[in-house]
Amino acid sequence: MTFDVAFAWSILPSLLKGLAVTFQVVVLGFVAALCLGLTLAVLRHAGRGPVPALTRAYVMFISHTPLLVQLFFLYFVLPQIGLRFSAMTTGILGLGLYFGAYIAEAWRGAIEDIHYGQWEAARALDLPPLATWIRIILPQTVKPMLPVLGNYLIGMFKETPLLAMITIPELFQITKQIADLTYNYNETYTLLGLLFLLISVPSSLLFQYLEKRSHGKSRVA
Amino acid sequence: MRRLKNNTRKGNGLNAVMSFETAWFIAQTLAKGAVVTLEITVLAALLALPLGFAVALLRVSPWRVTRLLSTVYVEFLRGTSALVQLFYLFFVFPPLFGVVLSPMETGVIGLGVNFSAYASEIIRSALINIDRGQRDAVLALDFPPMEAFRRVLLPQVMPLMLPPLGILLIELLKSTSLVYTITLMDLTFAGHNIITSVGYQTTTWTVVLLCYFMLAWPLSRMVKRYERHLTRHRTARGQA
């Protein structure tokens, strides 16, 4: 059982470069997912005709199929219908479409949890629908949504290794290349796992802390 | 039916219409892939459930050491990505420990252990939701521990943990697409296989997505029905 520390140290800069790409994809993908999720959740409530049913079908389909296959679909099929994106853009789009569905579902729940008196009050005060959404309803969903969004952010980070399968040079792809080139599987993948732990454990603890604080006193087991 | 499709193939020179042989090849490859996908899902679930249960019991146990160890287990598995764990198991473990696992064993153990962490969290939160009084009552009535667990506590935690465990099973089914990276011939691998041998990118990926959907959808329906069954009972009592 050997672990070449010098080698691990020497590949760290390359891995950190990959990590930077990972962060970039996660941030942009998350912004896309937020926009899509919010739009879908609002449309589910306020849309007319077939719109709510369509948003529901979208969420259903996306959440019942693997992200990996969705990425392959976007990566291989979009160019065939004339939409040529870089691998990066495809990856961001894929993460956005996938997590957008999950965020939409959570946000819908948050909207439904708002007391109906709020809607009635807005109506009684003759607020236009847009103002009701922007100034009454949505601000009240922010607090319950924050821990959920935090979990999805970490979840998205942990799904990024899949992007290596569509050739994005993120952390996992870089690690895999080094491992296949040098046959030092132990050092490379151990370092990769450590980097993942280093980021996801503190951030998950942070979100747990924030969630507990926002709930007041935590429930005693 | 077979002859009819064969005739259409002969009848036109356009390659827009799939020949019967091609369609048959695609259907066969996908069916084989779906079987492997289901096989891994079931086996990994059979590993994840008891393991998750054991870890959950350790996490609510009165001993600090087992609580700490099981927490580390859960945080470690949830903190690193499932794909990273699969690769670790596939590439690092064999030379390190001299254990050679087949791709199938790697997939089942990797996903099973990974999902046991998520399952243990569900089971743990169900366990700590049981009213303190129930445990006290069981003690007061001098139930043997196993009997108490089986006849008093378990029936109460079931409704709490079955729906989220069902959803976790769907997530597991979706995650099995990862095993294609360690050379297992599952549904995702079948998609690649079809494309390299006969093409039809758009059709193939659409059909693969639909296959996963058709495998996951019934599970999700079952969870919904079970939940409705539970809440119906609750609302009926609420109205009374």
Nearest CB to B209 within list A1, A65, A197: A65
Nearest CB to B201 within list A1, A60, A77: A77
Supply A138's token pair. 């949505």
Residues of chain B numbered 108-147 and touching chain A (CB < 8 Å): 128
Q: Is the dihedral of CA A63, A66, A67, A69 positive or negative?
A: negative
Asked if the Cβ–Cβ distance from B213 to A68 is below 8 Å, we say no
> Is the model's pLDDT at B239 over the cut of 50?
no
The single-letter code of the amino acid at B220 is S
Confidence of residue B235 (pLDDT cuts 50, 70, 90): low
**Span B2-9+19-234 CATH architecture:** Orthogonal Bundle (1.10)
Predicted pLDDT of residue A59: 95
Predicted pLDDT of residue A90: 93
> Is the model's pLDDT at B17 over the cut of 60?
yes
- The nearest CA of chain A is from the CA of B3 a distance in Å of 32
Residue with tokens 């962490």: B117
A205: nearest CA partner in chain B = B75
Alpha helices in A47-133 (DSSP H): 51-63, 67-77, 87-112, 116-124, 129-131
Interchain CB contact of A130 with B (< 8 Å): no
B92: nearest CA partner in chain A = A186
Interchain CB contact of A75 with B (< 8 Å): no
Predicted pLDDT of residue B236: 55
Q: Mean pLDDT over residues A53-70, rounded?
A: 94
User: Residue A162: its chain B contacts at CB < 8 A?
Assistant: 83, 178
User: Residue A189: its chain B contacts at CB < 8 A?
Assistant: 84, 87-88, 91-92
So what's the ipTM on this one? 0.84
Interchain CB contact of B95 with A (< 8 Å): yes
Tens digits of residue pLDDT in B24-49: 888 899 999 999 999 999 999 999 99
User: Residue A77: its chain B contacts at CB < 8 A?
Assistant: 201-202, 205-206
Nearest CB to A201 within list B75, B176, B187: B75
Mean pLDDT score of chain B: 85
Asked if the Cβ–Cβ distance from B188 to A176 is below 8 Å, we say no
- The nearest CA of chain A is from the CA of B2 a distance in Å of 30
The vertex-A9 CA angle with A6 and A10, nearest 5°, equals 85
The hierarchical CATH code for the domain A22-168 is: 1.10.3720.10
Alpha helices in chain B (DSSP H): 2-11, 20-59, 64-79, 82-87, 93-97, 103-127, 132-140, 145-148, 154-175, 187-198, 201-239
Closest CA to A144 of A174, A108, A176, A168: A108
Interchain CB contact of B205 with A (< 8 Å): yes
Asked if the Cβ–Cβ distance from B92 to A68 is below 8 Å, we say no
Residue A113 burial by CB count (10 A; 0-12/13-18/19+): exposed, middle or buried? exposed
Interchain CB contact of B57 with A (< 8 Å): no
Asked if the Cβ–Cβ distance from A69 to B209 is below 8 Å, we say yes
Q: Are A65 and B213 in contact (CB under 8 A)?
A: yes
Confidence of residue B145 (pLDDT cuts 50, 70, 90): confident
Q: Minimum mean pLDDT among A209-213, B69-73, B216-220: which range?
A: A209-213
Q: Are A139 and A75 in contact (CB under 8 A)?
A: no
Which residues, in sequence order, are CB contacts of A173 under 8 Å at separation 6+? Answer: A18, A163, A164, A167
Q: Helix B103-127 crosses helix B20-59 at what angle (to 10 degrees)?
A: 50
Domain ranges of chain A: 22-168
Domain ranges of chain B: 2-9+19-234
Asked if the Cβ–Cβ distance from A65 to B213 is below 8 Å, we say yes
Q: Residue B23 — φ and ψ, nearest 5°?
A: -60, -40
Predicted pLDDT of residue A217: 47
> Is the model's pLDDT at A216 over the cut of 80?
no
Interchain CB contact of B191 with A (< 8 Å): yes
Q: Residue B26 and residue B15: Cα distance in Å, rounded?
A: 16
Q: Residue B150 and residue B154: Cα distance in Å, rounded?
A: 5
Tens digits of residue pLDDT in B55-109: 999 998 889 999 999 999 999 999 888 999 998 898 888 777 778 888 999 999 9
A195: nearest CA partner in chain B = B80
Q: Residue A104 and residue A108: Cα distance in Å, rounded?
A: 6
- The nearest CA of chain B is from the CA of A77 a distance in Å of 5
From first CA to last CA, the distance across chain B in angstroms is: 58
Predicted pLDDT of residue B14: 41
B172: nearest CA partner in chain A = A66
Asked if the Cβ–Cβ distance from B212 to A69 is below 8 Å, we say yes
Asked if the Cβ–Cβ distance from A66 to B188 is below 8 Å, we say yes
Q: Helix B2-11 crosses helix B20-59 at what angle (to 10 degrees)?
A: 120
Residue A87 burial by CB count (10 A; 0-12/13-18/19+): exposed, middle or buried? middle
DSSP string for B189-223? HHHHHHHHHH--HHHHHHHHHHHHHHHHHHHHHHH
Asked if the Cβ–Cβ distance from B213 to A172 is below 8 Å, we say no
Q: Residue B118 and residue B56: Cα distance in Å, rounded?
A: 10
Q: Helix B154-175 crosses helix B201-239 at what angle (to 10 degrees)?
A: 170
